Structure 1
Amino acid sequence: MRLLLALCLCLCSAAAQAREFAIDHLEPASWWVGMKHHRVELMVHGQGIASLAPRVGHPGVVVSDVQKLANPNYLFVTLDIAADAAPGTFDIELLQGDRVAARRPFLLQAREAGSAARKGFDPADAIYLITPDRFVNGDPGNDSVPGMREAADRKDPNGRHGGDLAGIAAHMDYVAGMGFTQLWPTPLLENNQPRFSYHGYAITDLYRIDPRFGSNEDYRALSARARGLGVGLLMDVVLNHIGSSHWWMQDLPTADWINHGGTFSPTNHLRSTVQDPHAAPQDHAAFVEGWFSPGMPDLNQRNPHLATYLIQNSLWWIEYAGLSGIREDTFGYADSQFLSAWGKAILDEYPGFSMVGEEWSGSPATVAHWQRGKANADGHVPWMPSMMDFPLHIALREAFKEAKEGDVGFTGLYEMLGNDYLYPEAASLVVFAENHDTTRLLANVDGDVGLFKMAMAYLATVRGTPQFFYGSEVLMQGPRERDDGRIRADMPGGWRGDAKNAFTGTGLSASELDAQDYLRRLLQWRKGTPVVQHGKLRHYGPEDGVYVYFRHDGKDTVMVALNRNATARTLLPARFAEYLDGATGSDVMTGTAVSFERPLSLPGKSATIMQVRRGPGTR
């Protein structure tokens, strides 16, 4: 009996020792030879996986570090990839003694030529922001996908409507033809949330394109098609939070992976606490550690493994998809030291790359805190080349909010630009009148197309990189009060059977066609006019509802005169003799000659853009 019992125990012990293990997640599952970031930390996840020992058998690749956590289901394995390692696929093996208990393939790739020297966006570009689910439904077959919690329902303003990568790719010629040179889609990564998944900001898999948009390969193909048309692809990156349905939430790597231990605690949104020398520490902590909503768990970037994971994820997508830029969401809500490390790591790898951060504040000092080159009193060293210019955005919307006589509105816009001394590089900011989180500009001006066109002209000619919102070129208006699902409405013509089609012009009214043509001509002119991209800005204080400024570079000069009044105004050139004395000009939009020897007539609610030509001997 004892012998039988011993035999049973021995067999059970052997069976336990020989049991099979499964690698449920290996992230990242690929990398590249020749990256400066050549020490890659892999997150390996599977039941009881920490009891195993990793091994690789590929020339030029070694396991240089292994970290185990309190959670036995995780291993963090660092691969050191030599510069002369051979590209190819090999297995990440996990050993139980001498036995291979689990394995997963890993792909080591060769980099595309010139990858590290890629050029990002700059003020020569014009960015087109789209909400992919609402742009074009190119493949109705992926509107609803088995295993994804939310199915398509176009009747629901807050539901999924079916827009996808196939639709975007099929209409890239429209994007390029309008004069846009960069495409910014809101997040395309998997959002397997039960509700509101269309917007993309509650990511549930950081290495996977949402299958209702398409595949990773489709995303890479879109980037290549865009580049072929002269359009770069920006990725909307979210470092601050994830979706509550992310697989991490079922098995957190560490107790501190999610702020507040994975329990909802709302942020106070007090963004000034990051720089405020008088701020109570608990207020600052509540800002950066608080959650946006119960559906968006807040990440703790102070955890070194999570910080490395997020940095590598951004590098992976840049290299994989051939990105030209990143728009980083909710920038200031993340840990400041991590943001420095993240930005530096990306620019170390891609020195000419572009990134723009979202800091939704009306204070130039608060926004400037995050831009590369800013010397901050608190010692924070920023690495972001660009920030979204929310202070100018707010002033612009107020200036064009409604037709007013006099200088009310324009003075605020003029004075906001006067704060440019606070920025290390104001010319690198991204300027905009609207985005996916605001009411549309046309609603802001109560449907006044004249004011709308003026604002478009301002964005195209003021300093910075202009960003435009999809559909506004055909006068999509939306509600006057914020209602996200209706603001992010479907692009006309993006769905079969639409009565209006922005891409072909079918069904558009005369005013819609005119607005579209106006922006197209404006942006195409801007593409070929370096002085409005990189020239210096000189502006004159608004008088009688007229705001005048110049872009100049020592060779070329462009004059812009904005008349916000409902009626025409006369402008005396003598005030601007520095640029106009002895000069001739032409109206950029009409091509008609302009004389600066007599008063200029500015139509009501108009932007007059003039090319200024200096004769021999003029200053």
Structure 2
Amino acid sequence: MNLLKLSLIPCLLLSLISSTAFSAASKIDHLEPMFWWVGMNNPNLQLMVHGEHIGNLKVEISYPGVQLMGVTKVDNDNYLFLNLQVSSTAKAGKFNIVFRDASGKEIHYPYELKQRRKESAERKGFDNSDVIYLIMPDRFANGDLDNNSVENLSEKVDRNNPDGRHGGDIQGIIKHLDYLEDLGITALWNTPLLEDNEPQGSYHSYAISDYYKIDARFGTNEDYRRLSQACQKHGIKLIMDMVFNHCGMAHWWMKDLPSKDWVHLHDKFTPSNHRKSTIQDPYASKIDRDQFLDGWFVGCMPDLNQQNELLMTYLIQNSIWWVEYADLGGIRMDTYPYNDPQGMSEWGQALLREYPHFNFVGETWYKSAADIAYWQKDALNADGYNSYMPCVMDFQLFFEMQKAFNESTGWEKGMVRLYESLAADYLYHDTGNLLTFAENHDTDRIMWVLDGDIQKFKLLMTFLLTTRGTPQLYSGIEILMEGKKSDGDGKMRIDFPGGWKQDQRNAFTKQGRTAREADAFQFLRNLLNWRKNNAVIHSGNLRHYVPENNVYVYFRSNAEKSVMVVLNSNAEAQKINLSRFSESMKTYISGKDILSGKLFDFSQDTMEVEANTSLVIELQ
């Protein structure tokens, strides 16, 4: 997530600790996680309890296989942290946690342990066989008119306001999963769906006010589970967008912090300097590094102190809770380098201990491969740091794609940009586990960058979907939606046409698309569904050749198949010398372009490629 254009007034807390007296009417406001599972690899469970003077009470638990190992008190006596150990012999069931004051008065809080599914630990996350579809739920489709505005949440629906809430929700996504399956999508990443109770700009939901609650304007926790189950029926993995660097000012604990070091507080409002390089920079000063890590992202997003062990445990358990509860197929972590590096390393290790085959990706917004590679699991970093983040976002390739298709041939221009970008892959520990994309919710729409040129669009999509990595598409790219960042986030993040009953046309249907949109949609649909069934593109070896005359040729191959990809980014047809590619073409004598159906005979020395044309040739 980049700098959000919100109307922000920095809010510093003058009073953090409440001091009301305990009474028999005291109640527990929050106990999180609300329930847990028997059979986790890590038997330890930390419960955060918030209630009036709850810290003055004694706690008892009597349930076979569950042992209260200790109670941690903090500055604020409205909190207790209970350290439980759940034995592998424990049975799923309900029991009471008893809180007792000095006079013997008690609060009984029911707690439940559920049975973990045996196959949960072996779950597979998304990988390079997938194509991820990114949705901003508020701008995709409104499937439930009853939750457009919610009484106890500040911001109400206002579709006329580009920066307001428009009413898209979980039910709207569920209703269009058949559309995504038909398109060829195999994984779904929604921007955050958790509650964001900021008074304005809350539609993006990156200022989370409750880490265990789906925003009621999107639906309920159970609706999110239904989304996951529906996705699986359509062969789609569900990826959850998480935000741990900061919470929202409207988060319930900001009114009553557990301790003064729960968030980074300063004498005056101190924003992050946004200098991500200070983490890897061997010469960085402590003051610059600290301001990057500890400064607030923006004024309504308090910076969480992940060096606080209680908070870090809370965040780790929150991730595991959502994976189990919603049966997730992946996690995307927002603003990844802004988080405390050691805390996030512990987070990654904890996830992989529970789910060895799971996948999660960090937002690594850098322009160089060297900077991005630093954050990938098992990178050979000079400082010895290991993030345990399996997948990182390939922003370097993104920046090069935005330029490459608008340039003519040159020493470092045009298709050469793509070649040189991939030539830096030696820096990555795992080149197959890179998230590749041409646009997302924080960038210019690629069709605005390409000045609406559909031929350039086809060239770019061919590259994105046949090179290494896991491609991500942003909702609406299939119908050539445009938008530029300089117009403002809200105006760039426009609604998908047809997602609202009152829309004049429905681009989810063939009848609702213009001829130009239909052309782009069908091109992408054909390529996506072909990719879905061709492992050679998922994980086959990549061999590429230095572009000549702005023509880029590369091959993907495995033991069963070889595919030749040709990108001619010229306004004129080009002839290419086939003998140059003998290393990859070997004994193949013909091929068929899966995009056009055209047959090619390789008995000649040269092959002509039409202007502004891409070819994906299955070699025979």
Alignment TM-score > 0.5, same fold: yes
How far apart, in 1, do the equivalents of 2:181 and 2:449 lie?
27
The alignment status of 1:538 with 2:527, answered yes or no, reads no
Q: CA deviation at 1:461?
A: 0.2
1:239 partnered with 2:244: yes
For the pair 1:67 / 2:36, whether they are aligned, the reply is no
Distance 2:223 2:63 in 1: 30
1:516-537, CA deviations, whole angstroms, 9 ceiling, x for partnerless residues?
1111110100011110110011
The aligned runs of 1:488-527 (5 Å cut-off) are 488-527=493-532
Contact 2:415–2:552, Cα closer than 8 Å, also in 1: yes
Q: Which of residues 344, 351, 357 in structure 2 aligns to 1:339? A: 344
**What residue is the counterpart of 2:596 in the other structure?**
590
3-state SS of paired residue (1:260)? coil
Matched, 1:268 2:273: yes
| Aligned counterpart for 1:172 among listed residues 174, 177, 182 | 177
- Contact between 2:210 and 2:251, CA under 8 Å: does it hold in 1? yes
- Partner residue in 2 for 1:610: 617
Cross-structure match for 1:225 = 230
Question: Could you say what secondary structure the match of 1:155 adopts?
Answer: coil
Query: What displacement does 1:481 show?
Result: 3.2
Offset of 1:480 from its aligned partner? 6.3
Q: How does 1:121-520 map to 2 (within 5 A)?
A: 121-261=126-266, 264-400=269-405, 402=406, 404-405=408-409, 408-479=413-484, 481=486, 483-520=488-525
SS of the residue corresponding to residue 133 of structure 1 reads helix
Aligned residues of 1:95 and 1:101 also touching (Cα < 8 A): yes
Structure-2 separation of matches of 1:491 and 1:18: 52
Task: Tell me if structure 2 keeps the 8 A contact 1:118–1:324.
Answer: yes
> Cα deviations across residues 372-419 of structure 1 (Å, max 9, x unaligned)?
11121112122011100011111111112x253556222122111111
One-letter code of the match for 1:590? S
Cα distance in structure 1, aligned partners of 2:269 and 2:111: 36
Q: Which digits, 9 at most, give the CA deviation of each residue in 1:563-613, with x for residues without a partner? A: 111222122211111223542100111222111123222222221110112
CA distance in 1, matches of 2:107, 2:295: 38
> Which amino acid is the alignment partner of residue 404 of structure 1?
S
Point out the more displaced range, 218-227 or 492-501. Answer: 492-501
Structure 2 contact 134–475 (Cα < 8 Å) conserved: yes
Which letter does structure 2 place at the counterpart of 1:178?
L
Report the AA paired with residue 580 of structure 1: M
Q: Look up the SS of the partner of 2:580 in the other structure.
A: helix
Distance 2:54 2:145 in 1: 40
**How many residue pairs were aligned?**
597
Please say if residues 444 and 480 of structure 1, whose CA atoms lie closer than 8 Å, have aligned partners that are also in contact.
no
Per-residue deviation at 1:554?
3.4
User: Which residue in the other structure is 1:8 paired with?
Assistant: none
**Equivalent residue number for residue 114 of structure 1:** 119
Structure 2 contact 444–485 (Cα < 8 Å) conserved: yes
* Identity in percent: 48
Contact residue 485 and residue 492 of structure 2 kept, 8 A = no
Q: Distance in 2 between matches of 1:576 and 1:267?
A: 50
Q: Please name the residue that 1:565 is paired with.
A: 570
What SS does the corresponding residue of 1:76 show, helix, strand or coil?
A: strand
8 Å contact from structure 2 (residues 276, 292) kept in 1 = yes
User: Quick one: distance in 1 between partners of 2:259 and 2:384?
Assistant: 29
Deviation at 1:97, TM superposition (A): 3.7
CA apart distance, 1:24: 0.8
Instruction: Provide the TM-score with structure 1 as the length reference.
Output: 0.94
- In 2: Cα distance, 1:595 partner to 1:92 partner: 75
Native 8 Å contact 1:439 1:482 kept in 2: no
CA contact (8 A) 1:406 1:565 kept: no
Aligned Cα root-mean-square deviation (Å): 1.4
For 1:454 and 1:410, how far apart are their aligned partners in 2? Answer: 11
| 1:267-326 superposed Cα distances (whole Å, 9 cap, x missing partner) | 111111101111111111111111111111110100010010000000000000000100
Distance 1:480 1:96, change over 3 A: closer
1:482 and 1:374 mapped to 2: Cα distance?
A: 38
Any conservation in 1 of the 2:22–2:52 contact (CA below 8 Å)?
no
Matched, 1:77 2:76: no
Alignment-mate amino acid for residue 341 of structure 2: S
Give me the whole-angstrom Cα distance separating, in 2, the residues matched to 1:96 and 1:497: 58
Deviation at 1:85, TM superposition (A): 1.2
The separation in 2 between residues aligned to 1:85 and 1:37, in whole angstroms, is 13
Partner AA of 1:151 in structure 2? K
Q: Distance in 1 between matches of 2:580 and 2:189?
A: 41
1:425-470 Cα shifts (integer Å, max 9, x gaps): 1111011010000011101111111111111111110000000000
Report SS of the residue matched to 1:85.
coil
The structure-2 alpha-carbon separation of the partners of 1:414 and 1:172, relative to structure 1 and needing over 3 Å to count, comes to same
Structure 1 range deviating more: 130-139 or 555-564: 555-564
Larger Rg: 1
* Segment of structure 1 superposing worse, 409-418 or 189-198: 409-418
> Within 1, Cα distance between the matches of 2:97 and 2:243?
29
- Asked if 2 retains the 8 angstrom alpha-carbon contact of 1:329 and 1:357, the reply is yes
- Partner AA of 1:285 in structure 2: D
Task: Determine the C-alpha separation between the residues in 2 that align with 1:446 and 1:269.
Answer: 30
CA distance in 2 between partners of 1:26 and 1:540 (Å)? 58
Matched AA of 1:607:
S
Tell me if the contact between 1:255 and 1:261 (Cα under 8 Å) persists in the aligned partners: no
Matched residue type, 1:478: G
> Aligned partners of 2:584, 2:195: CA distance in 1, in Å?
53
Q: SS of 1:24's equivalent?
A: strand
Q: Give, in angstroms, the shift of residue 66 of structure 1.
A: 0.2
8 Å CA contact 1:202, 1:242 repeated in 2:
yes
Distance in 2 (CA, whole Å) between partners of 1:569 and 1:48 is 77
Aligned residue for 2:75, secondary structure, equals coil
TM-fit CA distance, 1:34: 0.3
Moved over 6 A (4+): none
The answer (yes or no) to whether the contact 1:20–1:102 under 8 Å persists in 2 is: no
C-alpha contact 1:573 1:597 (8 A) present in aligned 2: no
Alignment of 1:81-120 (within 5 A): 81-97=86-102, 99-120=104-125
Q: Distance in 2 between matches of 1:468 and 1:36?
A: 35
Q: Tell me how far apart the structure 1 counterparts of residues 206 and 277 of structure 2 sit (CA, whole Å).
A: 23
CA shift for structure 1 position 113: 3.2
Task: Show the counterpart of 2:6.
Answer: none
